[in-house]
Amino acid sequence: MPYTDKTIGAFFEEQAQRLPDHDFIVYPDRNLRWTFSQFNERVDQLAKGLLAIGIGKGDHVGIWATNVPDWTTFMFATAKIGAVLVTINTHYRRFELEYLVKQADLKALALIDNFRDHDYLQTVYELIPELKTSQRGQLESERFPELRSVIFIGQEKHRGMFNTRELMVLGDQDDNSELDRIKNSLDAHDVVNMQYTSGTTGFPKGVMLSHYNILNNGYYIGDRQKFTEADRLCLPVPLFHCFGCVLGIMAALTHGTTLVPLELFDPLLVLAAVQKEKCTAVYGVPTMFIAELAHPMFDMFDLSSLRTGIMAGSPCPEETMRQVMEKMHCTDITIAYGLTEASPVITQTRTDDSVAQRTGTVGAALPEIEVKLVDPDTGKEVESGARGELCCRGYNVMKGYYNMPEQTAEAIDAKGWLHSGDQAEVDTDGYYKITGRIKDMIIRGGENIYPREIEEFLYTMEGVLDVQVVGIPDEKYGEVVGAFIIRKEGVDITEEDVIDFTRTRIAPYKKPKHVIFVDAYPMTASGKIQKYKLREIASGKLGIEGKVFEDKIVE
């Protein structure tokens, strides 16, 4: 049996009783500190506030925000009342937000005001014009029939929206009777979190994850790093990803480890946070670690408290790993592999593994997870030493895709095996190496991009007759989006026109970096488009050498 069968709320309350005065969340740049008991009180206030406005067990609550302090409060408050927290990529634009709010059947949406150049409030008012004239909590939107409440994360007041301060006041006025009743009715196998991923086919799908899924996965992830109450984890990765909310929050929760999150990644702030809080662990994708190492003020900071952490999101260069171990003192840094559908980590290296194992493999299977390699055509397990599709089975496998039974059945077979779509091989020590991708996915610096979604979007542009999207090799991100477009007859759209069309309509990481116009696509004898030849064409035209990265390490 996995480590625990408790709900997240029950587990957290036990930790708050055991470690009441121990730091749980620290924002050093804000000088904000919450002990376990202080944070538990805040969570209960918000939970009762959500109940007061009609949010309850089974309701879907979207959160569209950077790593602001109350992101975590919403995560635990919704868990305590049995609501499902639906995490929303901060890079999403109107096109993706509209799809998600509809597909997820959100009853409430919590958001901040903006992220970089994107005004979230303006986008929401454009999508939901009724918000400005609706009574709070009683929204009736033609476009989003399930949506009833919009919540601003902060103290400012906006028309038609609650704010978190008001919810806290409402929660303060209620006793705990209703909250206690709901907490006692919850089960660890209830869905608690929904994250959208492009998965293997089509538009993004809502991956339904339970308390049992992510709490246990977090425990084993922390265990591989040998976390204890003495550890302090610097967390600069987004909380809307499993990397932040499972590898980060759940791993820390289960071990009594202190979280030191950053609202946004900034290499200087990471270095400062590690020094100020004497962090023992730090997370990031390789580009984050590279930016920290290359910062001109790097040598001014004392990082000697560091010991471990996780580098994930894209393949790890061996030289970067060596520098992180030597210059940043992370001698016990680990590598993890998985996918959202697996809660997410399937394999992870250990703190005492060699540099070669930490750069050449994605580690060994976590406890209580079965892993096998199968022939994708026959479904039969491959012979020792052969490559096959990596599949896993165990407590970590998702409950399914929300309202998508056919796609769920494609991902999880009749015997409960989750098919990753990734090709792998395993050595005699049980360490896995990802060798290719069976599915047609672009991975740009750790962000999964499904070409069909971008193709469907570009089809809506005037002058586009046909479009094929492929991953094109890129030195910085591993691969980036390339669009091959056939123009309609008599139309003279340019690369700049396509870039302008995508500028504010889709997330920046999904925008084509390269646009190539063609008269026809290379085809097989049976009429299938040969996307690998499109990649070759792009490499030739752009003078790019090398191949697309084939590894995939934690979405």
pLDDT in tens, 525-552: 545 678 878 988 988 888 875 433 333 3
User: Of 186, 205, 224, at which residue does a domain stop?
Assistant: 205
Q: Which amino acid is at 193?
A: N
How far apart are the C-alpha atoms of 197 and 164, rounded to whole Å?
28
- Domain membership of residue 244 (yes or no) is no
pLDDT above 50: residue 555: no
DSSP 523: B
Let me know if residue 180 belongs to a domain: yes
In which band, very low, low, confident or very high, does the pLDDT at 41 lie, cut at 50, 70 and 90? very high
Phi, psi of 381 (to 5 degrees): -65, 135
pLDDT at 553: 29
The answer as to whether 460 is a domain residue is: yes
Beta-carbon contacts of 23 under 8 Å, excluding residues fewer than 6 positions away, are: 33, 34, 35, 232, 258
pLDDT of the residue at 202: 58
pLDDT, position 545: 54
> Does a structural domain hold residue 235?
no
Total number of domains constituting the chain = 2
- Given a cut of 70, whether residue 49 has pLDDT beyond it is yes
pLDDT tens for each residue of 345-382: 999 999 999 988 988 899 999 999 999 999 988 999 99
Percentage of the chain beyond pLDDT 90 is 78
Phi/psi of residue 166, each to 5°? -65, -40
| Residues 472-515 pLDDT 10s | 988 888 889 999 999 998 999 999 999 999 988 899 999 999 99
The pLDDT score that the predictor gives to residue 439 is 66
Q: Which of 151, 175, 205 is the last residue of a domain?
A: 205
Q: Domain for residue 500, yes or no? A: yes
Q: Residue 82: pLDDT band by 50, 70, 90 thresholds?
A: very high
Q: What are phi and psi of 233, to 5 degrees?
A: -105, 115
Q: Is residue 228 a part of any domain in this protein? A: no
pLDDT band at 459 (very low <50, low <70, confident <90, very high): confident
DSSP state of 143: S
Mean pLDDT of 383-398: 94
Q: How does pLDDT run across 319-354, given as a tens digit for each residue?
A: 889 999 999 999 999 999 999 999 999 999 999 999
Where would I find the beta strands (DSSP E) of 229-356? 232-235, 258-261, 281-284, 308-311, 332-338, 345-348
- Say whether pLDDT at 448 is over 90: no
Helix (H) or strand (E) holding 318: helix 318-327
CATH code of residue 481:
3.30.300.30
Asked if residue 365 is part of any domain, the answer here is: no
Pairing assessment for the beta strands 114-115 and 447-449 based on DSSP bridges: unpaired
Instruction: Give the pLDDT confidence of 419-436 residue by residue, as tens digits.
Output: 998 889 999 999 999 876
> Which tokens sit at 527?
């009429």
Residue type, 337: Y
HEC string of 214-246 equals HHHHHHHHHHHCCCCCCCEEEECCCCCCHHHHH
Mean pLDDT of the chain: 92
Q: Whole domain around residue 483: which residue ranges?
A: 442-542
Tokens (6 digits) for 507: 């997330």
Reported as a pLDDT band with limits 50, 70 and 90, residue 316 is confident
Q: Is there a domain that residue 201 lies in?
A: yes
Would you state the pLDDT for residue 166? Answer: 97
3-state secondary structure of 27: strand
Residue 141's CATH number: 3.40.50.980
The closest of 96, 111, 95, 112 to 62, measured between CA atoms, is 111
From 140, 174, 205, the end of a domain falls on: 205
For residues 246-256, average pLDDT: 98
Tell me the mean pLDDT in the region 101-120.
97
Question: What's the average model confidence in pLDDT over 438-455?
Answer: 81
The alpha carbons of the chain give a radius of gyration, in whole angstroms, of: 23
Look up the pTM and report it. Answer: 0.86
- Residues 127-155 as b/e (b if ≥16 CB within 10 A, e otherwise) read bbeebeebebbebebeebeebbbbbbbbe
pLDDT surpassing 70 at residue 177:
yes
pLDDT (tens digit per residue) in 178-235: 999 999 999 999 999 999 986 444 578 999 999 999 999 999 999 999 999 999 999 9
d(CA 101, CA 91): 15
- What's the pLDDT at 527? 58
d(CA 262, CA 92): 20
Beta strands in 356-416 (DSSP E): 364-365, 369-374, 388-394, 400-401
What is the bridge-based pairing of β-strands 32-35 and 23-27? antiparallel
What is the reported pLDDT for 453? 83
